[in-house]
Structure 1
């Protein structure tokens, strides 16, 4: 995870448009309205993601609201928690 975060920090073009491209410039007006509605429902200001590349926004939006709340509260990613719980129970985890 640290290696991935380092790569993204050193190369912002991996996650963000570094030219004049914006998400709304890639979408039809109807699609942009649907995206903004979904962002608003999650409390994400559309302007805060305007320069994000679609793949990173898709990854963000794919998380259910309950997982976003867990992670915001400092909980580990659900997959990590499940693996940790399994190890505590003596299960083999690779």
Structure 2
């Protein structure tokens, strides 16, 4: 499904760009939104380059930026907001 989201984001952004509309997607990576047990957190924490597990507010700040005028030149992108998470 991630590939489908990426393809849709790129295709739709090209379609609506002439209307001044930007389209982007955010891949938040593992986020502690209440589902993680302490065991899961302990296993995941070392995989984050920034040393902590993502929080919902981390993703919210990125989405707020993408919705702002300051991000008006960014379109067709899938942005990984995952604190340097290693998937190995």
Same fold, TM exceeding 0.5?
Answer: no
Q: Which has the larger radius of gyration?
A: 1
**Could you state the TM-score of these two structures normalised by the residue count of structure 1?**
0.30
Which protein, 1 or 2, shows the higher relative CO under an 8 Å CA cutoff with sep ≥ 6?
2
Greater strand content? 2
